[in-house]
Structure 1
Amino acid sequence: MKLILKPLLYSTFLGLVAFSSCATQKVQINLDNVTRDTALNVPHGNEIIVSVYENLSTGFMWNLEGPNASVQLLKEEHKSQKIPKGMVGVGSTKVYVFKALNPGKCELAFTYSRGWEPSGGIHKRIILTVE
C-alpha cells in the first residue's frame, strides 16, 4: 500500500505545481496615471486590464484604437460610481480587458474626446511587447 500511495501523492503534487504555474497573470494599468506614452513587457497568455475615469455626461469618452494580432480585446465595460442623492453627471470607470496572445509589439492608443468635435482631446498610448 505504501509503495503505491507515495508515487501517487508525488505525481499529484507535481501536477498541481505544473497547473498553478500555467495560471493566467493579470497586469493592471490605471490610464489616469499614464502621462502620455508608456511601454510595458507582458508575457503571452497574460491579461492586461486598463482602467480609466470618464464622465459621459460631459460628452467626453475614451475611445480605443488598436490592438493588432498580438493582443485581443476581451471586453470593454463601464463601472458606475455611487450616485449621491440629488446629484447628476457622476463619472464612471471604463475598463478594457485584453489578452496577450502572440509575441510581438502592439500599440494601444486611447483618446478622450467628444465624438462630434473634429480634433483635440487627450491622447495616451500603451506600447506593449508581448513576450
Structure 2
Amino acid sequence: MTPARLLVPLSLCLLAACAQTPKHIVSLDNQTDCPLTLQTGQTLILMLPSNPTTGYRWLMQNPAPSILNSLGPEVFNASREVGLVGEGGQSVWRYRAANPGEGHLMMTYQQPWAPEVRPERTFDCVITVK
C-alpha cells in the first residue's frame, strides 16, 4: 500500500479520536454529581447561573490548580431573551484535566467589594483525575 493511501485512513482515525474527546458538564443544579472523576485530558465545562447586573460574581476560591488547567477566562452567556435589562444568564468556565490526583474546585457567588458578607451561593466539588 502506498504512503498516500495510508494517510487517508490514518487521518480519519485521528480525526475521529479528537472528536470523541470526552466532556463533562457540571452546573450548580446538579452539584449532586460531585465528587467527579475525570480522565487526564478530559474537558470540564462548568456552568453556573449568574447575573452580573446585581453586582454579584462567581469568585474562584480554589481552582484545583494541581489537577486542572484553565482553558480561558469566564464567559457570560445572557439568557435567550436578549435585550432585557438586568436579565441573568450563565457564567461558563472550561478546564482540562491535566494531572492525576485529587483537588477541590470551589467558587462563591458574592459581591467582590464585600468579602466579609456570607456568599449568596457556593459551588464546591471534589474532583479526582485519573
Q: Does residue 114 in structure 1 map to residue 111 in structure 2? A: yes
Q: Residue 75 of structure 2: SS of its match in structure 1?
A: strand
Distance 1:126 1:63 in 2: 15
| Number of equivalences | 124
Q: Distance in 2 between matches of 1:11 and 1:88?
A: 54
Cα offset for 1:88?
2.0
User: Greater CA radius of gyration, 1 or 2?
Assistant: 1
For 1:129, the equivalent position in structure 2 comes to 128
Matched position secondary structure for 2:35:
strand
Determine the structure 2 residue equivalent to 1:73.
70
Q: Percent identity?
A: 27
Q: Partners in 2 of 1:32 and 1:62 — Cα distance? A: 15
Partners of 1:29 and 1:113 in 2: CA distance: 20
**Structure 1 partner of 2:57:** 61
The SS at the match of 1:34 is helix
Unaligned runs of 5+ in 1: none
Task: Give CA-to-partner distance per residue, 1:71-130, whole Å, 9 cap, x none.
Answer: 01112211122335xx42111210000000010112100101112251311222111101
> Higher strand share goes to which structure?
1
1:11 is displaced (CA, Å) by 7.8
1:49-76 residue CA offsets vs partner (Å, 9 max, x unmatched): 0001111122211112222121011122
> Structure 2 CA distance, aligned partners of 1:101 and 1:15?
25
**1:91 equivalenced with 2:88 (yes/no):** yes
Q: 1:18 to 1:90 in 2, by over 3 A?
A: closer
RMSD: 2.5
Counterpart in the other structure of 1:47: 43
After superposition, the Cα gap between the structure-2 partners of 1:10 and 1:111, relative to the gap in structure 1 and judged at 3 Å, is same
Question: What is the TM-score of this pair, normalised by structure 1?
Answer: 0.78
Please name the residue that 2:16 is paired with. Answer: 20
TM-score (norm 2): 0.78
Post-superposition shift, 1:12?
5.2
- Deviation at residue 18 of structure 1 after TM alignment: 5.6
Distance in structure 2 (CA, Å) of the matches to 1:22 and 1:80 = 30
Mean Cα displacement is larger for which, 118-127 or 42-51? 118-127
